[in-house]
Amino acid sequence: MSSGRPPAAIAVVRVSGPCAGIALETLIGRLPEPRKAALVWKPQSTIAIDDEKGEKLFKLMEMLNEHDDVQNVYANFEVSDALMAKMGA
């Protein structure tokens, strides 16, 4: 989080489990108003996927992301740099 105003500072708060929302609410009012604050899902472990399966997963993620009822799409797989460049991700 950063207000962008001098003295600008960045605060990264990592909380897991059901306390994440409570932690964010606790910080409100104690720090300058942030330009951005969000809860983000970050996997603790990932799995390597070959390029063929990776292409299928990217297409599935794109289809899910385009659906009106879907707000966020997360994944815990890794693909090759070549496939990332090919898929434009």
Tens digit of pLDDT for each residue in 24-37? Answer: 788 777 777 767 76
Residues 35, 2 within the same domain:
yes
Tell me how many domains the chain contains.
Answer: 2
Confidence at residue 60, expressed as pLDDT on a 0 to 100 scale: 95
Whole-angstrom Cα distance, residue 24 to residue 18? 11
Domain region containing 9: 1-40
Question: Do residues 48 and 78 touch, judged by C-beta distance below 8 A?
Answer: yes
Q: Find residue 31's DSSP bridge partners.
A: 28
Instruction: Tell me: do 3 and 34 sit in the same domain.
Output: yes
Q: How much is the pTM?
A: 0.56
Residues 55 and 36 in one domain: no
Same domain, 57 and 34: no
Residue 5 sits in the same domain as residue 32: yes
Question: Are residue 54 and residue 82 in the same domain, yes or no?
Answer: yes
Q: Distance (Å, rounded) from C-alpha 9 to C-alpha 30? A: 13
6 pLDDT band, cuts 50/70/90, is low
Same domain, 1 and 36: yes
Please give the backbone phi and psi of residue 40, each rounded to the nearest 5 degrees, phi first.
-125, 135
